[in-house]
Amino acid sequence: MAASIKQRHPVSLAYAQALLEVGIARKESDLYGEQLDSIVAVLESDPQFAVFLESPKIRREEKKSVLEKAFTGQVADPVLNLVRILVDRDRQEALGDIARTYGERLDMIAGRVMATITSSATLGDEVREALVGALAEKLQKEVIAEDQVDPDLLGGLTIQVGDMVLDSSLRSHFRRVRHGMSQIRLGKDLIDED
């Protein structure tokens, strides 16, 4: 199985951890996670709003004013303060990574992990339960799994837990075989290395 890591914005851990500490102290950490996810969902569903927030031509004060009108009373003050700080420091593009990191840290504290299981066809209930059970036993954590179907995998599956991807699909196996075949030297090439 091959593993790969997706890079996140470098400040995401620091901001996520700071908000998580406030959330734990106020016993509102789950609420803050939900609210961060809601803000990110708004940004992802409304590209014009995302462009507005990231535009260098729009003053920071104007951006913060719009955010305050949109989210005051909808999200807790610490969450809104985080968004204000990100705008002040021109790091609003990190909000999605901060929300994902926050959720992962919260899950880690709660002893659970999120997994995405991608297969070439829909998994049967027994197979899915066995796979989730094996993951939970291996990781020693509660596994919350989301299923996806990708016919391009041809067979096998991929499992993503956090930033790690385990790939046992036929598609990746064929890639490795193809690469290995391209490295094989035959006939005269074995004798004449020049």
Question: Could you tell me if residue 6 is inside a domain?
Answer: no
**Sheet order of strands, 157-161 included:** 142-149, 112-119, 157-161, 164-167
pLDDT score recorded for residue 156: 77
Judge if 87 and 36 occupy the same domain.
yes
End-to-end CA distance of the chain: 35
Domain end marker among 86, 106, 126: 106
Q: What are phi and psi of 146, to 5 degrees?
A: -120, 135
Q: Within this chain, do residues 155 and 76 fall inside the same structural domain, yes or no?
A: no
Q: Is residue 5 part of a domain?
A: no
Q: Does any domain span residue 192?
A: no
Task: Give the global pTM.
Answer: 0.65
- Determine the Cα–Cα distance for residues 176 and 64; give it in Å rounded to an integer: 50
Boundary (domain end) residue, out of 77, 106, 135: 106
Give pLDDT, residue 152. 81
Task: Tell me how many domains the chain contains.
Answer: 2
Q: Tens-digit pLDDT profile for the chain (194 aa)?
A: 343 345 787 889 999 999 999 999 999 999 999 999 999 998 899 989 888 988 889 999 999 999 999 899 999 999 999 999 999 999 988 999 999 999 989 988 988 888 899 888 898 999 899 989 998 998 888 998 999 998 887 777 888 887 778 777 666 666 766 766 666 655 555 555 55
Are residues 102 and 16 located together in one domain of the fold? yes
> Residue 39 sits in which domain range?
12-106
Q: Are residues 81 and 119 in the same domain?
A: no
The CATH number covering residue 140 comes to 3.40.30
Establish if 193 belongs to a structural domain. Answer: no
Residue 99 forms part of a structural domain? yes
The span from the CA of 106 to the CA of 112, in Å, is 9
